[in-house]
Structures are given as structure tokens and as C-alpha cells.
Amino acid sequence: MKIVVIQGPNLNMLGHREQSIYGAMKLEDIHAQMQNVAKQNNFDIEFFQSNFEGEIIDKLQECLGDANGVIINPAAYSHTSVAIRDAISAINIPVVEVHISNIYRREEFRQKSLTAPVCAGQIAGFGPFGYHLALMAIMQMLAEIEAIKKKSEAAVKQ
């Protein structure tokens, strides 16, 4: 099974930008840890980062038929992008939204996520560890979906 991790604008600057909010860990380090966990659990994982809304939408659309689940940190686009929300909704696969900071403790304009309501769940405020939590969540969701499929197939055979 394949999980795609999509990172939004400015996340390529992790480890450099506003360390008091986002921490000192670089995006490459987060991805390396996720890669190790995915490999241990027999999942393929792919990483993508873009500062451009259209590229994020294109990547979400590419996930249809190619990925079983998505972890996304839309970053600032969480609060502004109806287009990314629509793309998440259109692919109809489990998506978990991640935010490094607790967006609900930040500026008022950051406290509303347009994308979260079309995701299976949202993890916010746990720093880089939130990605690990999201990975655990998506792997569990996919395992449950697979179990339901197998149960349905077995019932049809009877």
C-alpha cells in the first residue's frame, strides 16, 4: 500500500523559520523518520513539497488510483484554498491533515481550516511528532479498510 505525504508552502524552510513555533527539525529529517516507520510496516511512502497551490492540487489528483492514503500539511493554504479542499474531496481516499503548530492557539485567521472538514482527521500542535501520529492514523485506517474489503469478499464467496 502507498501513502503520499504532501507538504505545502514554506515547509521546505523548516529548521530555519520561526523555530519557536515550528521547531528546529528540518523537513528532510521528518521525512526520514516517516520513511523508516513506513518501511517497518510494509508501506510505500512518497514525499512531495510545493509552494504553489496548483502543484499541490495536481499532486492530490495524481493520488487517485496511485495512492491508498494521503497525509497533507496544506500550511497557509489550509485557511484559504477552496481549490485544495475540492481536490481532497474529489479523490475520495483517506486524507489526514497535519499542522506542526496548534492552529487554534494562533492568530484568528489561522484558526479556521477550510480543508479539515473533507479530511478523515486533523492532527495539530504536536510539532514534528504530529507527522508520526498522522502516519499511525493513516496506516490504521488503511488496515481497517483492507479488513472490511476482505470480509466483504469472503461473504460474497459464500
SS3 call for 27: helix
Q: How far apart are CA 70 and CA 49, in angstroms?
A: 13
Q: Which of 16, 22, 79, 131 is catalytic?
A: 22
Nearest CA to 6 out of 136, 131, 92 is that of: 131
Tell me whether residue 79 is one of the annotated catalytic residues.
Answer: no
Annotated catalytic residue: which of 16, 77, 79, 99?
A: 99
**Residue 80 CA neighbour count, 13 Å, CB half:** 8
42 — alpha (psi -120 to 50), left (phi > 0) or beta? left
Q: Is 99 a catalytic residue?
A: yes
Catalytic residues: 22, 99
